[in-house]
Structures are given as structure tokens and as C-alpha cells.
Amino acid sequence: MAEHAEPPAYPVGLRLAGRRVVVLGGGQVAQRRLPALVAAGADVTLVSPSATPSVEAMAEAGEIRWERRRYEEGDIGAAWYALVATTDREANDRASAEAERTKTWCVRADDAEAATAWTPATGRSDGVTVAVLTGHDPRRSAAVRDAVVEGLRDGSLAAPQHRARDPFVALVGGGPGDPDLITVRGRRLLAQADVIIADRLGPRDLLDELPPHVEVIDAAKIPYGRFMAQEAINQALIDHAKQGKSVVRLKGGDPFVFGRGMEEAQALAEAGIPCTVVPGISSSISVPGAAGIPVTHRGVAHEFTVVSGHVAPEDPRSLVDWAALARLRGTLVVLMGVDKIGAIAAALVAHGRAPGTPVALVQEGTTAAQRRIDATLATVAERVRAEEVRPPAVIVIGDVVTEAPDKRTAPAPAP
């Protein structure tokens, strides 16, 4: 006679807001599970003589109550839900027995068969909670969970909303160029957009993944070439938003780091249109990092300064105090300064920076076309001409340029 398969667990979502939850044990299991219980609004009591530093910090912050003692009979009875995660098997058995008597759903970290509830592998994306149970294979549960959540986040798993979603306008920082370096929130909003107004320096590969109905507007500001005036970009954002469309302004790096994002936010505000700002990974940090250059390093640089180089030092429109920058001992990162680097280097040397100061230019950072050119302040202008360096390129000035994970492989400044 064939054996009957074990009945599957019945999935359910517990609404624990304001309801008592008891956690026995303050170790690694509690550290993993407590944040979700707190986020659910549960009234959490931790019963444990000790706790990890992270769990202790939650108690000190008032997120949970901590009773510094061992389990006692009666701890479980008043709870709606219990998590038993101590290293004392006998105490766990007694707590489970109490939960059975008092009809309290109880998870056992040490013995799933003795539990009356199991914790699924969970993930969240855009208001959707994904919970996966695969019996006694938690790794498979986690793998399925990860695949579903990633699909929801990047739009590859179609899950249209059947209830009308309020339109939105978002200024999204796309990061330095590699499509994997956009934030999860930024990628999710792209998947929900009706209109995307995209910069040339944004992660262009992501545009290929968009559904065919999405309108993509090229707002590229290509140096020395065609460009879309900032006023036209502002007006496009406003016009499409007033048509009830969800609009994403996809920008390179971070919207507020030399991205003119505040101008767009102000224009939208003047038109009475709220917008969401989604920060992005700034190229000022990420591009040097991708080229093996730390902008700070112990014993080398305790500071880094990011400046725009689109206006030459001698230009009366310049807002940069180049004399002050030359006196600093830390790292200087220059954005949009390829065509002005000769004048910038000269100004720094004139104000006291050593001509032999190392310089690195990282062109098309984080993309397949990335390349790095090393020089010094004395030689950088000629190196840029000889190597035909073109924007976009991030310029790093300072001793960190010669640092590397293995200093034996660190590139020496060009002669």
C-alpha cells in the first residue's frame, strides 16, 4: 500500500499589527526574523538572557521589549504568534507544548516537525509580498522567492495591476552606466512608466527591456552636438504629467549631483506636480572604484572633493575656488572637465599643488568601453590629446591614484 504524501501547509498572511508576539532566544534566528515582525507592527516581546548586538540595539531603540531571562510557563499563552529559537531543546519543547495547549501558532527554529507554523521565504516588491514554501527545502524556497521578486522588480515578470494606479513623476538616478548599477526602486519605476525622458549618460541598455507602448524621449545633451534645452525637458515633464501619464526622467549618476535635477523638481513644483526623487550611484565615486581607485584611503586621503570642470578656472562664471582646492591634501574628483583639464591642472599647480601629483582619467566608466589613462598634473593635458580622451570621463587627482588592491600592480604615473 502506497504511503500518503504529507498534506501541504496552508498559506496565510498574519495581520500582527498591535498584536502580541513572543520571541524566545536572542540569537541569529531572532536577528533575522525580528525586523519583519517589527515592520508588520507587531507588539514584540523578546524573552532571552542574552542577545546579539543587533537585537540588543532594537531593544534599546524601543522597537521591541526585552525580558532578560529564560522561558517560563505562561510566556506563550497570551501571544497570537510565537517564534521559538533558543539553544535549549528542553525549553523549546515546553514552549511548543504550551503553544499547542493555548492554540498559539508557533514556529520552531530547531525542529520544523514540532512546529504548528513554518516561516516562508519572503520578499517584497512594489506592495507585493511574495512568500514561498517548499516543504523541507528552504534553499529552494529562497531561490524561487528571489526569482519571482527579481522578475517583479525588473519588469521581466509581467504582473499588471488591475486596479488603477495613480500616475507619478520620478527623477531617477540611473547610476554611472552599467545597467546593473541602477537602484531596485529606479528599475521598478522604469517598468511602470508610460513615458521615459532619458539622458545619454543614463543606463541605455535598460531601454531595450521596456514594453513597446512606452514612449522614450531622447533628452541627450551630447557635448559639442545636438541637445535638448533644459526648458524643453522641464516642459516635457510637465506636459506628459498633466496628460495623466507616469513619467520617469532617467538621468546618469545621481539627479542632484551636477544633474540639474533640482531645476526639474522646481519646475514641476511650480506647475503643481509632485515628483519622487530616486537617488542614484554617483559616477564621482563609482567610476573611480570601478577602475580600482579609492577616493579615500587610510593614511593617504581623509577627504575627497567633487567639482564640476565644465567652466574653466579663469572663466568669470566659475564658482570653484581653485586656490583653496590646491591647498587641500585629499582627493579631487572632477566631472565634465575633459576639455578643460589643461587649464584646471595649470591652475592647481599655480596655486601650489605639486606638478607630479598623480592623475587618472576614467572614460566610459563601468561600461564595456571603460578605459583608464594615467598622468600627472604636469602631463595630463598632453596625455588627453595623445589618447584622444572624450567625455564622459571622470578625472581623479591625488595620491589615491597610485593605490591598488595589490600595490605591486598599481600603475605608475605617466612620465
C-alpha cell, 390: 572624450
Q: Which is nearest to 271 in space by CA: 311, 242, 233?
A: 242
Contact 404, 372 (CB under 8 A): no
Neighbours of 168 (CB within 10 A): 18
User: Under 8 Å CB-to-CB from 405, ≥6 apart: which residues?
Assistant: 292
Q: Which of 199, 251, 254, 374 is catalytic?
A: 199
Catalytic residue status for 218: no
C-alpha cell, 380: 595630463
User: What is the per-residue DSSP string for 230-249?
Assistant: HHHHHHHHHHHHHTT--EEE
Catalytic residue status for 199: yes
Q: Which of 110, 194, 221, 245 is catalytic?
A: 221
User: Under 8 Å CB-to-CB from 75, ≥6 apart: which residues?
Assistant: 22, 24, 45, 47, 95, 98
Q: Give the span between the Cα atoms of 287 and 59, in whole angstroms.
A: 39
Maximum distance among all Cα pairs of the chain, rounded to whole angstroms: 93
Contacts by residues 27-30 (CB-CB < 8 Å, ≥ 24 positions apart) = 27/51, 27/52, 27/85, 27/86, 27/87, 28/52, 29/83, 29/85, 29/109, 30/55, 30/83, 30/85
SS3 374: strand
**Residues annotated catalytic, as ranges:** 199, 221
